[in-house]
Amino acid sequence: MKDIQSQPDSRRINIKKVGVKDISYPITVLDKAKTVQHTVARVNMYVNLPHQFKGTHMSRFVEILNQFHGSINLQSFHSVLDAMKNRLQAEEAHMEIEFPFFLKQNDCSPAMAGISEYSCKMHGSLDKIDDLILTVQVPISSPSAIQNNEGLPKSLGRWGTAEVSLRLSHFIWIEDLIQTVENITCHDRTWHDEMDSEIEHDSLSVEDMTKQLSKKIASHPHISWFSVTVENFSKNYSTFATLEWPESGTSHRHWPTEQQ
Amino acid sequence: MKDIQSQPDSRRINIKKVGVKDISYPITVLDKAKTVQHTVARVNMYVNLPHQFKGTHMSRFVEILNQFHGSINLQSFHSVLDAMKNRLQAEEAHMEIEFPFFLKQNDCSPAMAGISEYSCKMHGSLDKIDDLILTVQVPISSPSAIQNNEGLPKSLGRWGTAEVSLRLSHFIWIEDLIQTVENITCHDRTWHDEMDSEIEHDSLSVEDMTKQLSKKIASHPHISWFSVTVENFSKNYSTFATLEWPESGTSHRHWPTEQQ
Amino acid sequence: MKDIQSQPDSRRINIKKVGVKDISYPITVLDKAKTVQHTVARVNMYVNLPHQFKGTHMSRFVEILNQFHGSINLQSFHSVLDAMKNRLQAEEAHMEIEFPFFLKQNDCSPAMAGISEYSCKMHGSLDKIDDLILTVQVPISSPSAIQNNEGLPKSLGRWGTAEVSLRLSHFIWIEDLIQTVENITCHDRTWHDEMDSEIEHDSLSVEDMTKQLSKKIASHPHISWFSVTVENFSKNYSTFATLEWPESGTSHRHWPTEQQ
Amino acid sequence: MKDIQSQPDSRRINIKKVGVKDISYPITVLDKAKTVQHTVARVNMYVNLPHQFKGTHMSRFVEILNQFHGSINLQSFHSVLDAMKNRLQAEEAHMEIEFPFFLKQNDCSPAMAGISEYSCKMHGSLDKIDDLILTVQVPISSPSAIQNNEGLPKSLGRWGTAEVSLRLSHFIWIEDLIQTVENITCHDRTWHDEMDSEIEHDSLSVEDMTKQLSKKIASHPHISWFSVTVENFSKNYSTFATLEWPESGTSHRHWPTEQQ
């Protein structure tokens, strides 16, 4: 690979992202039931770096994180991003956090007393306007027609996952989003009763479950964009389907109604 | 979450992606030195699904993969994508493969006889036109001024990684891309000699190393787009910088030269 | 933590293990059908270090690995260990390799044309005598009573895994061990036909499947020790059972027969 | 693999381990500074199953975990194990928990304001006697002679890790164990000052650092057994050394003193 152009001047080029990643950090999340839930997040924080700036002070990212220690949540995201933008003199600021969120005993897993874990992500951006995408991954069990000797359905394994990402115009509880998804995906509750119906068998395909979930989420008034991915585990690989709405490149529009 | 809109009709909505993922598959890659290198890839294959189609036959993805068994490489990517598009009647076809690529003993790691491993990715797309992005991740050692009792530099650990993604207008050997990167990142070869110079100390920042790498890659005649990310491991997190060129949203243009 | 003993002399203490780990290395494995299978292994190599030796030359481990490049298998394990023991003047030598092993289309996964992946491990030791433990992990699908529109059973997800470790007195093909396990664990072949029988429902517990597998393996003439672990995935955790035979601490003895 | 023995009777064979694994669970750990630290653990719980028992009730493991929710620590381990042994009528009970433990700003990482993460494990067993092994993994930075433009040492990457496992006769704070390890491993504090001395260069080998750490830990009055593993990352693999004391198979004895 030889240089055949005149020497480029990298001083005039923008650094698109500069920051810190994979910080493990204890955080608290507001929680419908318990007010405050303690968990551990993996955090990425970065800004753009206009070409006239020579470097950035990496330690400032963690200093900002420390200032908000104990109160990272949907509400405080804007304040953290604002502090990043100001202290680092950046045009854009980004923060991504990923954490396990726990729900006490829900109807969807009656076989085992205990708490369920959901992987959550928040990706916030601030340039001129705020943007926040919330992602929740909901595990899906294999449907079970078999009961163990305590009268509870036996585990037939992991069917897959449903991952929903949203842009919100109003606050929404993570618990409510999980319940919306589990109303569709929860085999033990929904599918089990109707195991013989033609419709229910159909709903086992990733395409159909993606569409059912999308239809449900599109009907929510406070969601301006979403993406749904349903993944079905086979022994050695997965099958999956993804639906995004409105599709990128198209203007915001109504989900087609049956009347149309 | 209540339905407040009239019932949406999901039958009129496109599935953006449907396919298989995380298939572990033995492949061969063409290799400058040995002609054929055997390795094991993780493969994702997916298509879009226009709304008039009701479902897709997942088994066909793996059937196509089997047809090309033993010859997945930069050259055969187009044929695989073409087969996917035709057999699944899709408008777009995508394949992503990720695999370890091995190089025998290179100058950049003299301390240990042996072979070096590089993580590679290829992401090919076909709608009306072909698109292929090649990604190589190059590990970077910590600079070492200390020799062990065999006269070789002692390992002072893992400094980080450089990841380069490219769109190519002509074929390029993975080996040549790795060497281009290691000409910049290889401490034992480059930095060691000039450990005391002001310039070399500077080059230890992720921003500067990202710019140096970008400048080098921008000067290559057959690269129409690239992204460079340099990551520096600290004890509990990483710092990183990313540069993309041309930046998305801008038209293709020349890297600014020093004359400008 | 204060020192309250007289100063200990670490020069008189043995290093139990010293070596290299997590080397990614392309290897070939002998294969019943194709003679040679190319795959990529993760390799650990280590020796003990008697207290009179001050250090070891780490680069020699990789030099030895390079000597045997292309022919790591059950047969060559002894030679590699012997070379390690000699060149590093050690009393004991160990090598662990872990790799994906591929089988073309087997009866246990009719739903998808393709190849199945099994995670394999070999752990060889040499002090005065040779020791080799072979481990194979076999994925288990969820049982499926539902057919898709191509007449094949639909994936109902991942039920779990069966992991079998063996000490062998004679050579055994990895393929034969996998088939022995799948004769018990393969739902699509075995369970499906008898889905209603009391016995088959019982066999869904990890304890029972562990016992069935152990009974089968104990009947093989060339196995002097084994361990079986069956794991069943639930949504957020796993249940598992492990049986080892003969149990550590007991002398070698016959598996109890029904006549006893 | 044919059956050539008379049919073995698996009903007379013990299940060695049966239980649940990979439960993700929020826990609190007692902490020298803050009294209570919230973190998220991965939990395994299992018992042995004497051959006269036909099965075990997996849901009871999680019920027991729920009873102690919010107070898993070195002190409560015995109570959890006791509850497992009683409720499951087992001869032996085991619990393993693994969690990130956080320390605010310590001297060993002055470059970045913030908190440090340490991976901790506790493995408790109860048959006739209690046994508890505490494991802490301490990350080690690469030594840095270079300062950035804020006068702090620049990151030169990850040198490796030191992992210490202990059997304790008295309670010990995790913080104190971490500090004991970092007194040896912390380059920025210890090594940096004496970068030129012959001794310090020597201490960069995994064997020597393992011995230095072992000598320090052996001098602690409340430790009846320990294992130390020091791992040094190279670009594509690691080198490591492990020392265990007293070595398994030997009776408890004093670490050899220099007077001997």
Q: What is the pLDDT of residues A122-170, one digit of tens each?
A: 999 999 888 999 999 999 988 765 555 554 556 678 999 999 999 987 7
pLDDT of residue B85: 92
Flag if D210 and C15 touch (Cβ within 8 Å): yes
Minimal CA separation from D18 to chain A, in Å: 16
Residues of B in contact with D239 (CB under 8 A): 155
Q: Count the Cβ atoms, other than its own, within 10 Å of residue C20.
A: 22
CB-based burial of residue D37 (10 Å sphere; 0-12 exposed, 13-18 middle, 19+ buried)? buried
pLDDT in tens, B38-76: 999 999 999 997 766 666 778 889 889 888 866 777 678
Flag if B139 and D201 touch (Cβ within 8 Å): no
Residue of C109, C139, C232 lying closest to A155 (CB–CB): C232
pLDDT of residue A167: 94
Which chains contact D through at least 3 pairs of Cβ atoms less than 8 Å apart? A, B, C
Q: Count the Cβ atoms, other than its own, within 10 Å of residue D248.
A: 9
Q: Which residues have C-beta within 8 Å of that of residue C183, sequence separation ≥ 6? A: C190, C216
Q: What residue of B is the nearest CA neighbor of C117? A: B24
Flag if A39 and D37 touch (Cβ within 8 Å): no
Q: Which residues have C-beta within 8 Å of that of residue C77, sequence separation ≥ 6? A: C95, C122, C124, C132
Flag if D15 and C218 touch (Cβ within 8 Å): no
Highest mean pLDDT among A161-175, C96-110, C189-203, D51-65: A161-175
DSSP annotation of C228 reads E
Minimal CA separation from D139 to chain B, in Å: 6
Residue of B10, B54, B238 lying closest to A20 (CB–CB): B238
DSSP three-state, residue B159: strand
DSSP annotation of B153 reads B
C76/C239: higher pLDDT: C239
Kindly report the three-state secondary structure assignment for every residue of chain A.
CCCCCCCECHHHCCEEEEEEEEEEEEEEEEECCCEEEEEEEEEEEEEEECCCCCCCCCHHHHHHHHHCCCCCCCCCHHHHHHHHHHHCCCCCEEEEEEEEEEEECCCCCCCCCCEEEEEEEEEEEECCCEEEEEEEEEEEECCCCCECCCCCECCCCEEEEEEEEEEECCCCCHHHHHHHHHHHHCHHHHHHHHCCCHHHHHCCCHHHHHHHHHHHHHCCCCEEEEEEEEEEECCCCEEEEEEEECCCCCCCCCCCECCC
Residue C32 is encoded by which pair of tokens? 């019943």
The average pLDDT across B234-258 equals 76
Half-sphere exposure of A186 (CA within 13 A, CB side): 17
Q: Count the Cβ atoms, other than its own, within 10 Å of residue C248.
A: 9
The average pLDDT across B179-205 equals 59
Give the Cα separation of D40 and A39 in Å (integer): 6
Half-sphere exposure of D224 (CA within 13 A, CB side): 10
Chain C positions contacting chain B at CB under 8 Å are 23-26, 37-40, 55, 57-59, 62-63, 65-66, 100, 102, 111-115, 117, 149-150, 152
Residues of C in contact with B59 (CB under 8 A): 111-113, 150, 152
Residues of C in contact with B40 (CB under 8 A): 39-40, 100
CB-based burial of residue A1 (10 Å sphere; 0-12 exposed, 13-18 middle, 19+ buried)? middle
CB-based burial of residue C34 (10 Å sphere; 0-12 exposed, 13-18 middle, 19+ buried)? exposed
Residues of D in contact with B109 (CB under 8 A): 234-236
Q: What residue of C is the nearest CA neighbor of A153? A: C234
Residues of C in contact with D12 (CB under 8 A): 256, 260
pLDDT, averaged across chain B = 79
Strands B223-233 and A115-126, bridge-based pairing: unpaired
Residue of D24, D66, D112 lying closest to A59 (CB–CB): D112
Residue of B109, B111, B159 lying closest to D157 (CB–CB): B159
Mean pLDDT is lowest, of A60-69, B9-18, C116-125, for B9-18
Strands D223-233 and D238-245, bridge-based pairing: antiparallel
Mean pLDDT is lowest, of A103-107, B162-166, C17-21, for A103-107
Nearest CA to C157 out of A137, A187, A207 is that of A187
Residues of C in contact with A148 (CB under 8 A): 205
Residues of A in contact with C109 (CB under 8 A): 234-236
Flag if B1 and A212 touch (Cβ within 8 Å): no
pLDDT of residue B41: 94
Burial pattern C106-141, b for ≥16 Cβ within 10 A else e, equals: eebbebbbbbbbbbbbbbbbbeeeeebbbbbbbbbb
Minimal CA separation from A52 to chain B, in Å: 13
Chain D positions contacting chain B at CB under 8 Å are 109, 111-112, 114, 116-117, 139-143, 146, 148, 154-160, 201, 204-205, 232-237, 239
| H-run or E-run covering C79 | helix C77-87
Which residues pair with residue A47 across a beta bridge? A18, A93
Q: Do C99 and B26 meet the contact criterion of CB atoms below 8 Å apart?
A: no
Residues of C in contact with A140 (CB under 8 A): 157, 235
Which residues pair with residue B257 across a beta bridge? A8
Nearest CA to B48 out of B149, B126, B123, B157 is that of B126
What DSSP assignment string belongs to chain D? Answer: ----SPPB-GGGS-EEEEEEEEEEEEEEEEETTTEEEEEEEEEEEEEEE-TT-----THHHHHHHHHTTT--STTTHHHHHHHHHHHTT-S-EEEEEEEEEEEE--TT-TTS-SEEEEEEEEEEEESSSEEEEEEEEEEEEPP---B-TTSSBPP--EEEEEEEEEEESS---HHHHHHHHHHHH-IIIIIGGGTTSHHHHHTTSHHHHHHHHHHHHHT-TTEEEEEEEEEEE-SSSEEEEEEEESPTTS---PPPBTT-
Which residues pair with residue D25 across a beta bridge? D41
Residue of C49, C58, C229 lying closest to D239 (CB–CB): C58
Minimal CA separation from C76 to chain A, in Å: 29
Minimal CA separation from D116 to chain B, in Å: 6
Q: What residue of D is the nearest CA neighbor of C213? A: D10
Residue A160 is encoded by which pair of tokens? 């897959």
Flag if D24 and C236 touch (Cβ within 8 Å): yes
Q: Do C247 and D14 meet the contact criterion of CB atoms below 8 Å apart?
A: yes
Residues of C in contact with B117 (CB under 8 A): 24
Flag if B58 and C112 touch (Cβ within 8 Å): yes
Does position B150 have pLDDT exceeding 60, yes or no? Answer: no
Give the Cα separation of B35 and B52 in Å (integer): 45
pTM for the full model?
0.88
Q: Do D10 and C214 meet the contact criterion of CB atoms below 8 Å apart?
A: yes
Regions of chain D where pLDDT drops below 50: 1-8, 151, 188-202, 252, 259-260
Residue of C55, C59, C149 lying closest to B113 (CB–CB): C59
Residue A13 is encoded by which pair of tokens? 């080029």
Mean pLDDT by 10 residues, chain A (260 residues): 42 83 90 82 91 74 83 79 92 95 72 79 91 94 61 72 92 90 72 40 74 91 93 91 82 53
- Quickly tell me which residue has 């508890």 as its tokens: D132
Q: What residue of A is the nearest CA neighbor of B244? A: A16
Minimal CA separation from D34 to chain A, in Å: 14
Nearest CA to A62 out of A45, A79, A78, A49 is that of A45
Nearest CA to D212 out of B151, C22, C3 is that of C3
**Contacts A–B by Cβ distance under 8 A:** 200
Residues of B in contact with D141 (CB under 8 A): 157, 234-235
Amino acid, single-letter form, for residue C247: E
| H-run or E-run covering B229 | strand B223-233
Nearest CA to D106 out of D39, D1, D44, D33 is that of D33
DSSP three-state, residue B213: helix
Which chains contact B through at least 3 pairs of Cβ atoms less than 8 Å apart? A, C, D
Half-sphere exposure of D183 (CA within 13 A, CB side): 13
Residues of B in contact with D204 (CB under 8 A): 146, 154, 156
Q: Which residues have C-beta within 8 Å of that of residue C218, sequence separation ≥ 6? A: C226, C245, C255, D5, D8
Give the Cα separation of C194 and C109 in Å (integer): 18
| CA-based radius of gyration for chain C | 22
Q: What residue of B is the nearest CA neighbor of D231? A: B157
- Quickly tell me which residue has 């599918």 as its tokens: A191
Give the Cα separation of A247 and C127 in Å (integer): 64
Residues of B in contact with C137 (CB under 8 A): none
Flag if A236 and C160 touch (Cβ within 8 Å): no
Q: Which residues have C-beta within 8 Å of that of residue D22, sequence separation ≥ 6? A: C237, C238, D42, D43, D44
The average pLDDT across C81-102 equals 93
Confidence of residue C109 (pLDDT cuts 50, 70, 90): low
Which chains contact C through at least 3 pairs of Cβ atoms less than 8 Å apart? A, B, D
Give the Cα separation of A159 and A206 in Å (integer): 11
Flag if B160 and D157 touch (Cβ within 8 Å): yes
Q: What residue of C is the nearest CA neighbor of B117? A: C24
Residue C243 is encoded by which pair of tokens? 């049986």
The answer to whether the bond into D143 is cis (omega within 30° of 0) is: no
Flag if B236 and D109 touch (Cβ within 8 Å): yes
Flag if C157 and A157 touch (Cβ within 8 Å): yes
**Contacts A–C by Cβ distance under 8 A:** 90
Minimal CA separation from B113 to chain D, in Å: 12
How large is the angle between the packed helices C77-87 and C59-67, nearest 10 degrees?
150
CB-based burial of residue C8 (10 Å sphere; 0-12 exposed, 13-18 middle, 19+ buried)? buried
Give the Cα separation of A84 and B238 in Å (integer): 17
pLDDT of residue D2: 40
